[in-house]
Structure 1
Amino acid sequence: MNKRTKKWTQYIVMTLIALAIAFIVYSTVTQSKSKAVGVGDDAPEFELQKMDGSTVKMSDYKGKGVILNFWGTWCEPCKREMPALSENYEEYKGKNVEVLAIHLRKTPQQVEQFFSGLKKEVHLPVAFDKDNEVADAYGIDPLPTTVVIDKNGKVKAIHKGEMNDQTIKNYMNTVTP
């Protein structure tokens, strides 16, 4: 083999190695995204600690419609939608629809300050996803994101971003058993 042939062979081998690495990275990134829950999927099971110290599991909601609202105290859209979510929860909980506000950190004092700083009173069950395991399982990004689950545990909708009162009512009606 002459020098020129050796050089071309090295370039080809290096290019193939680079392409193989790029493919592995691409496959890894897209595969982890595809693990996130989608509409029509079963809602992943979880167990989280609530504000009052008790635990809550997805299986606790069997036979009920569920609205999982992922939020953070630093999130301005979360602040704006929280009163409407609370009002609708009060109206629909008698119709077998539950709401769980899942805060993406474990900071009870910040949550209490957040709620006391709102213009309207908010009464929602709050749980903490301090390691973002549940948020990752549900593919949550950005905040707020709301996952709507029917009485059979199937995801009916995923709403990314702020919801208004009418949107919340529509989702509540969607999962009313």
Structure 2
Amino acid sequence: MGMRTSLLALVIGAFATLGNPAAAGELDAETRARIEEMRGEALAKLVLLDEPRELPAAEFEAPDGAAATLADFGGHVTLVNLWATWCPPCREEMPSLDALRRRMEGTGIEVITVAVQPGARDKAEAYMAEMGLHALEPYGDARNALPRAVGILGLPTTIILSPEGREIARMQGDADWASPEAEAVLRALAEAFDAEG
């Protein structure tokens, strides 16, 4: 009896996923079009992927010095910004990312920045303190493992992950992340994936 119940639950779950593209980690055409329209000028360079992409595991350093991976942020729509303190466009967008993170607290949407350079976490921490950026946490990747794993060639680059940890969008270059468009796009993605709390 227990085996039949388990099998039935598995079959029902599979059909529910087939009928709900977001549950399968994909956006339906209507949601995709709505989000693309929301991008406006502020996020014109944001590209929604046709199919979510599995990302290889790559370790980077958490604020406390422990090893972290993107899988640690599963269960949430997560914006991951890769940057460096030596990169002028990266530095320019940090205050807007800090503001976005503050606004997203408690929504089920994560905003993290990963500095990619030698001494990354310490340099990120010092820069954030100097600039008064208190919402962001200093993640770092001194070995450049994350950019290599996800195929990033330039900074800044932002990737957006589904709650399943698959890449659903990418943007090369800086943006005004404090813009209403940025918040609207993230909230729409969270709603589409039913991740917003």
Same fold (TM over 0.5): yes
Alpha-carbon spacing, 1:171–1:145, altered in 2? closer, same or farther (3 Å): farther
> CA–CA distance in 2 between the matches of 1:61 and 1:133?
17
Within the candidate set 124, 135, 140, 2:152 is matched to 140
CA RMSD of aligned residues (A): 2.1
CA deviations on 1:45-88 (whole Å, 9 max, x unpaired) are 23221232123222222211111100000111111111111111
Within the candidate set 60, 83, 93, 1:71 is matched to 83
Aligned residue identity for 1:69 = N
Within the candidate set 73, 82, 88, 2:94 is matched to 82
Matched residue count: 139
Matched, 1:114 2:127: yes
Deviates further, 161-170 or 141-150? 161-170
> CA–CA distance in 2 between the matches of 1:156 and 1:168?
15
Alpha-carbon spacing, 1:145–1:139, altered in 2? closer, same or farther (3 Å): same
Aligned residue identity for 1:46 = A
Q: CA deviation at 1:106?
A: 4.1
**1:30-41 equivalent positions in 2, closer than 5 A:** 39=49, 40-41=52-53
Aligned residue in 1 for 2:59: 47
Aligned residue in 1 for 2:24: none
Aligned residue identity for 1:146 = T
Q: Hey, which of these two has a bigger chunk of helix by percent?
A: 1
How many percent of aligned residue pairs carry the same amino acid?
24
- Higher-Rg structure is 1
Question: Structure 1: which 5+ runs fail to align?
Answer: 1-37
> CA–CA distance in 1 between the matches of 2:122 and 2:151?
26
**1:1-177 equivalent positions in 2, closer than 5 A:** 39=49, 40-107=52-119, 108-118=121-131, 120-164=132-176, 165-166=178-179, 167-176=181-190, 177=195
